[in-house]
Amino acid sequence: MIPTATSKIDTKALAPNRISKLTIENVSRRGFLQGMFSAGAVVLCARLVPRPLWAEGILAEGGPTAAIDASAFRPSLWVGIQTDGVVYIVAHRSEMGNGVRTSLPRILADELDADWARVHVVQGDGDERYGSQDTDGSHSVREFFDALREAGATARLMLVRAAAQQWGVPESQCVADPVHVVSDRNSTRKLGYGELASAAAKLPVPKKEEVKLKSPADWRYIGKPAKGLDAPDLCAGKPMFGMDVRLEGMLYAAVARPPVLGGKVKSLDDKAALQVLGVKRTIPIDPFTASPAAQPLGGVAVIADNTWSAFKGRNKLQIAWENGSHGVYNSTQFKKELQETARQPGKLVHSVGDVDAEFAKGGKIVEAEYFAPHLAHASMEPPVAVADVQGEKVTVWLPTQDPQGVQEQVAKALGTKKEDVTCHVTLLGGGFGRKSLPDYAVEAAVLSKKTGKPVKVVWSREDDIKFDYFHSVAAMYMKASLDEAGKPKAWLQRSVFPPIGSTFNESAVYGGDGEMSMGWNPLPFDLPNFRAENGKATAHVRIGWLRSVANIYHAFAVQSFANELAYAANRDPFDYLLALLGPPRILDSAAHAQPGIAEKYPYDIGRLRHVAELVADKSGWGKRKLGKGSGMGIAVHRSFLTYVATVVEAEVDSSGAVRIPQVHTVVDAGIVVNPEMVRQQFEGAAVFGSSIARTGEITATGGAIDQSNFSDYPVARMNDAPVHTDIHIVESAAPPAGVGEPGVPPFVPALCNAIFAATGKRVRELPLSRNGFA
């Protein structure tokens, strides 16, 4: 799979389904998949035309087929059946532990009635004709579920037709049964898919109306647990990751980047570096212009014949930096500024009723401030990319969540065309949003162009942590007035954080629609008077997407505050949460920014109540007697269209050491393709959440990041991660929703609420290590 040597907008996570039109074509004899298929194979392409293209009428006349030159034509999703019966299915999205290389092909294989053991999954290169390949926002299954089913069912019908013709019997007499074979209902005759491939290749593609999708009761793979396709190879240490790519004659590079965003090299002395055995030369990399976006940060690259020499040489560079305006960034001071901003009225996000009028009436008022610091992604595989520039043509191999973004950014940096950049997607050793932005690919491309050789840029862990696109620091202010029964009559909330938009436009100081929709508006609570605001904040580091993004700090504030109100009202936190959720109902879609989504995915309070009730039941909420220093905490949250409730059990000893013996999470993600993967995602989310809660904190002094490695940016290990995490998946016929991210947001407040139950100490500032807990 991999060679061994020899402007983004942050609304995307909740963007509407980007596909509006699916066309399936028989491309068996187009010859564009040279080398993949032998003669006689049937190859179908399901092309997903992105909504903007279609909506703008570019392809309207005569349909997409007429508009796209057949010679340039490549499919979006394709399935090919060889005459030997091997079925090839492309996975066009990135695998980073999210399980897409298993779950997406299984959707198609199900409708095809293919034998999973005979399916080969092929990783798609970057190509805009695939439709969206940007593997983020937990939408891979949601966006492609229908298309993959239709593609599989179409191929199945063609195989059935081929068999019917061969036998001279009516199509209705033939059935794809039991698997990978078409059977004659009236005899014992059978023809394998491989035997039918050549005949099917000659058939026209059936009309959409003729294609029958299976009834969910007949699904053989969808909804059934499956192990990871790549698990055996991963456990054998096979070369599959970007870090494992090796090309003949490849050079290795390590880059010394400006410690402060926007910094420049004032002076360089590379004499000692050039003395290092294996070091070949140093090459300056230009700093970014305008906003950082996906451009390199600049600095000086050390080129060597192995990674170690490049690292060692880099350490010997003597560089004086000019820091620029972000040298003012000090986290302690910045925190005070964010908190002060949150105490003042901000920009209106949404308002219901009149909170000010209600507050003026007096009564029981509760106020609280919450704070959450920057986080780094720290995926196990640091950023790495190999680029090979040959004249106008560029080939890049890398772990990326966004191969089309790689093509764009590399082309832009080298002044070539996007089509001249081939982007091969390797497995990702974790991504968590970091690998959505390909600055590291651009570094490799720039250096390959300058050296005339393939170059592998390897980021050290220190590079990864210091030069991340950080999860934003955030301050939240909350205020509620309670009635006699303790229920809020008015609820005001303000959130202040440097927005992701600032990475693409330095003047951006307010959160984008995406950030505000993430756990901030709407709230799922039954509130007669509600106002959400957003205060402005200037970024001094690159801000990016981190697994569940703004949901992390918003859920922390909202679900902690709900818990505080429960205690203020002297109510059980679970009962109180249900009362806050209010009666089952669909939230008014006009009230929140989810264009195109609400019709298919209405915000259903009934489903949120259901997961809350189930998690209380599963965890034995209110029924189990806990020892001294132990407590349970609950939180509910809907993100990426999935409803999640989590109960965390915490034990806190007299020294403040926190142990997490048990987590219960209930998930309603609609139709689930692979429950095994969903369990993995939510088990992992609890561990990821525990890293955030316990020790997750990135700070800056004089604009430079203080942390550098797992020594000062600790993450959860086996002995401090949750011991047991039980996942319960709600059976649902609702359309599939996200699973990669939604487990993270409720974990942190559920843990903090558990700690309050155990100790009476309220955590309003993350991480726990700032509160005397360990």
Partner 1 sequence: MIHLKVNGVERAFEGDPDMPLLWYLRDILGLTGTKFGCGMALCGACTVLQNGTAVRSCSKRMSTLAGAEITTIEEISVHGPHAVQAAWVHVNVPQCGYCQPGQIMQAISLLKTKPAATDGDIDDVMSGNICRCGTYQRIRAAIHEAAKEMA
Footprint (CB under 8 A) of partner 1, residues 707-736: 709-711, 715-725
User: CB of 711: closest distance to partner 1 in angstroms?
Assistant: 6
Strand (E) positions, 251-383? 251-256, 264-269, 279-285, 299-304, 318-322, 347-352, 364-372
Cα distance between residue 49 and residue 26, in whole Å:
17
428 binds partner 1 per the rule CB under 8 A: yes
Our CA angle for 47, 50, 55, nearest 5°, is 120
Pairing state between β 77-81 and 42-50: antiparallel
User: CB of 693: closest distance to partner 1 in angstroms?
Assistant: 13
Closer to partner 1 by Cβ: residue 204 or 237: 237
Binding to partner 1 (CB under 8 A) within 430-449 occurs at 430-432
Residue from 30, 224, 238, 600 in contact with partner 1 (CB under 8 A): 238
657 binds partner 1 per the rule CB under 8 A: no
Provide the 3-class DSSP secondary structure of residue 139.
coil
117 binds partner 1 per the rule CB under 8 A: no
Provide the 3-class DSSP secondary structure of residue 419.
helix
Binding to partner 1 (CB under 8 A) within 152-211 occurs at none
Q: Please, is 348 exposed, middle or buried when counting C-beta atoms within 10 Å of its C-beta (0-12, 13-18, 19+)? A: exposed
Which stretch in 28-36, 105-113, 425-433, 495-503 sits in contact with partner 1 by CB under 8 A?
425-433
Closer to partner 1 by Cβ: residue 4 or 7: 4
Cα distance between residue 566 and residue 586, in whole Å:
24
Closer to partner 1 by Cβ: residue 674 or 759: 674
| DSSP secondary structure letters along 594-614 | -TTTTTTS--BHHHHHHHHHH
Site string for partner 1, 683-702 (x = CB under 8 A): xxxxxx--x-----------
Instruction: Count the site residues for partner 1 by CB under 8 A.
Output: 72
Q: Which residues contact 738 (CB under 8 A, 6 or more apart)?
A: 137, 138, 139, 141, 142, 639, 640, 641, 642, 669
Binding to partner 1 (CB under 8 A) within 210-229 occurs at 227-228
Cα distance between residue 239 and residue 426, in whole Å:
10
Which stretch in 25-33, 238-246, 327-335, 499-507 sits in contact with partner 1 by CB under 8 A?
238-246
234 binds partner 1 per the rule CB under 8 A: yes
Residue from 48, 114, 196, 243 in contact with partner 1 (CB under 8 A): 243
Q: Check: CB of residue 432 under 8 Å from CB of residue 544.
A: no
Our CA angle for 475, 481, 482, nearest 5°, is 125
Residue from 278, 284, 596, 656 in contact with partner 1 (CB under 8 A): 278
Q: Phi, psi at residue 530, to the nearest 5°?
A: -145, 135
Closer to partner 1 by Cβ: residue 497 or 688: 688
Residue from 33, 294, 458, 568 in contact with partner 1 (CB under 8 A): 458
Closest to 110 measured CA to CA, from 229, 222, 228: 222
236 binds partner 1 per the rule CB under 8 A: yes
Site string for partner 1, 257-276 (x = CB under 8 A): -------------------x
235 binds partner 1 per the rule CB under 8 A: yes
Task: Extract the tokens encoding 680.
Answer: 């993995």
CA 347 to chain centre: 28
β-strand partners of 384: 458
User: CB of 665: closest distance to partner 1 in angstroms?
Assistant: 12
User: CB of 696: closest distance to partner 1 in angstroms?
Assistant: 12
Cis omega (within 30 of 0) for bond into 522:
yes
99 binds partner 1 per the rule CB under 8 A: yes
Cis omega (within 30 of 0) for bond into 767:
yes
User: CB of 141: closest distance to partner 1 in angstroms?
Assistant: 16
Binding to partner 1 (CB under 8 A) within 627-656 occurs at none
Cα distance between residue 324 and residue 760, in whole Å:
45
Residue from 148, 240, 261, 543 in contact with partner 1 (CB under 8 A): 240
Closer to partner 1 by Cβ: residue 134 or 564: 134
User: How many residues comprise the chain?
Assistant: 774
120 binds partner 1 per the rule CB under 8 A: no
Binding to partner 1 (CB under 8 A) within 493-552 occurs at none
User: CB of 135: closest distance to partner 1 in angstroms?
Assistant: 12
Cα distance between residue 465 and residue 467, in whole Å:
6
Residue from 16, 239, 582, 596 in contact with partner 1 (CB under 8 A): 239
Cα distance between residue 260 and residue 327, in whole Å:
6
Walk across the sheet containing 474-482 and list its strands.
347-352, 529-535, 488-496, 474-482, 364-372
Residue from 3, 50, 80, 97 in contact with partner 1 (CB under 8 A): 97
β-strand partners of 299: 285
User: CB of 426: closest distance to partner 1 in angstroms?
Assistant: 11
Binding to partner 1 (CB under 8 A) within 42-71 occurs at none
Residue from 460, 563, 753, 759 in contact with partner 1 (CB under 8 A): 460
Residue from 25, 113, 127, 244 in contact with partner 1 (CB under 8 A): 244
241 binds partner 1 per the rule CB under 8 A: yes
Q: Check: CB of residue 101 under 8 Å from CB of residue 91.
A: yes
Residue from 27, 44, 96, 158 in contact with partner 1 (CB under 8 A): 96
4 binds partner 1 per the rule CB under 8 A: yes
Q: Check: CB of residue 288 under 8 Å from CB of residue 296.
A: yes
Provide the 3-class DSSP secondary structure of residue 671.
coil
Which stretch in 167-175, 302-310, 343-351, 405-413 sits in contact with partner 1 by CB under 8 A?
302-310
Which stretch in 90-98, 126-134, 165-173, 555-563 sits in contact with partner 1 by CB under 8 A?
90-98
User: CB of 683: closest distance to partner 1 in angstroms?
Assistant: 6
Binding to partner 1 (CB under 8 A) within 305-344 occurs at 306-309, 311-312
Tally of CA atoms within 13 A in the half-sphere of 4 that contains its CB: 7
User: CB of 669: closest distance to partner 1 in angstroms?
Assistant: 17
Place of tokens 């009362």: 579
Q: Please, is 146 exposed, middle or buried when counting C-beta atoms within 10 Å of its C-beta (0-12, 13-18, 19+)? A: middle
User: CB of 618: closest distance to partner 1 in angstroms?
Assistant: 17
Closer to partner 1 by Cβ: residue 274 or 578: 274
Closer to partner 1 by Cβ: residue 221 or 603: 221
Which stretch in 80-88, 91-99, 294-302, 616-624 sits in contact with partner 1 by CB under 8 A?
91-99
Closer to partner 1 by Cβ: residue 206 or 429: 429
Walk across the sheet containing 630-639 and list its strands.
630-639, 642-652, 658-668, 724-729
Binding to partner 1 (CB under 8 A) within 367-406 occurs at 378-382
User: CB of 330: closest distance to partner 1 in angstroms?
Assistant: 27
Closer to partner 1 by Cβ: residue 237 or 391: 237
Closer to partner 1 by Cβ: residue 336 or 724: 724
Q: Please, is 607 exposed, middle or buried when counting C-beta atoms within 10 Å of its C-beta (0-12, 13-18, 19+)? A: buried
